[in-house]
């Protein structure tokens, strides 16, 4: 799977509204056949920073994502709410789901 983590630094006046601002993009991405997950989290250290964890089944699903109309719309619409270009880590890993963190096993 293609695993992506990206940090979005939102303009302070829009940070509280970011989930609603990005809602259409989020819902459309989650509906893609090759999307495994697409989850936003807000930083506990910086209230203007949101982190996204997303995964796609394979390279074809990743290409379908970045060529989809909702992705192109997000490219046009979302930057106006950002303080800076998002930072990203993008890698391919085996599997299609999260693994258990054995060091914190719950018994």
Q: Give residue-wise pLDDT tens across range 5-56.
A: 999 999 999 999 999 999 999 999 999 999 999 999 999 999 999 999 999 9
Burial class of 45 by CB neighbour count within 10 A (0 to 12, 13 to 18, 19+): exposed
pTM of the model: 0.93
Tokens describing residue 83: 């303080």
- Alpha carbon of residue 31 to chain centroid: 13
Residue 18 has a pLDDT of 98
Q: Hey, which bits of 1-48 come out as E strands? A: 2-9, 35-42
Mean pLDDT of 77-86: 98
Q: What integer best gives the mean pLDDT of the chain?
A: 97
Q: Of all residues in the chain, what percent carry a pLDDT higher than 70?
A: 100
């Amino acid at each position: 799977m293609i695993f992506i983590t990206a940090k979005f630094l939102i303009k302070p006046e829009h940070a509280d509204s970011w989930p609603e601002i990005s809602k259409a993009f989020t819902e459309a991405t989650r509906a893609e056949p090759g999307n495994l997950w697409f989850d936003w989290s807000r930083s506990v250290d910086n209230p203007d920073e949101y982190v996204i964890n997303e995964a796609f089944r394979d390279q074809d699903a990743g290409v379908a994502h970045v060529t989809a109309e909702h992705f192109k719309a997000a490219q046009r619409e979302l930057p106006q709410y950002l303080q800076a270009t998002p930072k990203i880590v993008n890698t391919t890993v085996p599997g299609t789901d999260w693994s258990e963190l054995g060091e914190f096993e719950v018994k």
